[in-house]
């Protein structure tokens, strides 16, 4: 039980992993999206960079990089000046191990939201976010997860976006398979979310998080995915 509780502790990295679920790209070209993310009463500015094979999301302290071309994930800690990496194969293997433990314990599995499929419901009205008109939707997974989002029809996923998104959620341990059901359902939505409010009830915790894009640019800095000079590599933690 303690192992699962540790897995669900919401850290800046896990919050960034959640952010991968909604931040889309206006085209397959390079893109930068700046957003305000609020969690537990604290608001943080996040920045996401998109290219054909890489996605980076940063809160200024921690960078989370999905390198789809090289099939690995990097985590850069700017406070400690360290970085680590883990391969997609390692992430899939660990996630499968945790899912197996849930299957052997139905009561515990239910505490993580059960295994039902997610549903999508279109909400009335549109609004403008970061210069894009977006339509409201509600995505739910049982009684444990609810995702209210606003999707812009003129925003499409970058190359490899959906697969990269699923890899990012694997860092969330037992919650990964549940969240991926939620995200899979989002593929039915016309456009990509540029604002959301998420509520997750898991292991006695009530997690609320919201985010809204404030700026969209059709470019990415040349050094966006470069590990800063002098940073030391450390062993990755799953």
Distance (Å) of CA 73 to CA 9, 182, 224:
20, 22, 15
Angstrom distance (rounded) from CA 64 to CA 42: 20
pLDDT of residue 205: 73
Residue extents of the structural domains in the chain:
2-223
pLDDT of residue 162: 63
pLDDT, tens digit (0-9, with 9 covering 90-100), for 41-89: 899 999 999 888 899 999 999 999 999 889 899 999 999 999 999 998 8
Distance (Å) of CA 4 to CA 98, 172, 203:
9, 10, 9
pLDDT, tens digit (0-9, with 9 covering 90-100), for 91-124: 888 777 776 766 666 655 555 555 567 889 999 8
pTM over 0.75: yes
pLDDT, averaged across the chain: 79
How does residue 211 score in pLDDT terms, banded at 50, 70 and 90? very high
Angstrom distance (rounded) from CA 9 to CA 201: 13
For 2-223, CATH gives 2.50.20.10
pLDDT of residue 105: 63
pLDDT of residue 103: 65
């Amino acid at each position: 039980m303690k192992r699962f509780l540790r897995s669900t502790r919401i850290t800046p990295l896990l919050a960034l992993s959640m952010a991968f679920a909604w931040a889309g790209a206006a085209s397959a070209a390079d893109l930068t999206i700046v957003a305000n993310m609020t969690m537990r009463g604290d608001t943080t500015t996040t920045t996401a960079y998109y290219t054909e094979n890489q996605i980076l999301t940063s809160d200024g302290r921690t960078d989370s990089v999905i390198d789809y071309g090289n099939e690995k994930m990097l985590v850069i800690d700017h406070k400690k000046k360290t970085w680590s990496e883990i391969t997609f194969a390692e992430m899939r293997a660990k996630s499968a191990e945790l899912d197996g433990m849930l299957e052997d314990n139905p009561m515990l599995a239910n505490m993580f939201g059960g295994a039902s499929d997610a549903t999508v419901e279109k909400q009335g009205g549109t609004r403008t976010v970061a210069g894009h008109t977006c339509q409201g939707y509600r995505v739910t997974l049982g009684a444990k997860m609810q995702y209210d989002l606003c999707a812009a029809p003129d925003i499409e996923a970058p190359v490899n976006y959906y697969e990269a998104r699923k890899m990012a959620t694997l860092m969330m341990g037992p919650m990964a398979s549940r969240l991926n059901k939620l995200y899979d359902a989002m593929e039915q939505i016309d456009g990509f979310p540029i604002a959301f409010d998420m509520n997750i009830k898991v292991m006695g915790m009530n997690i609320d998080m919201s985010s809204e894009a404030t700026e969209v640019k059709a470019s990415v800095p040349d050094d966006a995915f470069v590990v800063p000079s002098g940073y030391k590599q450390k062993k990755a933690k799953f």
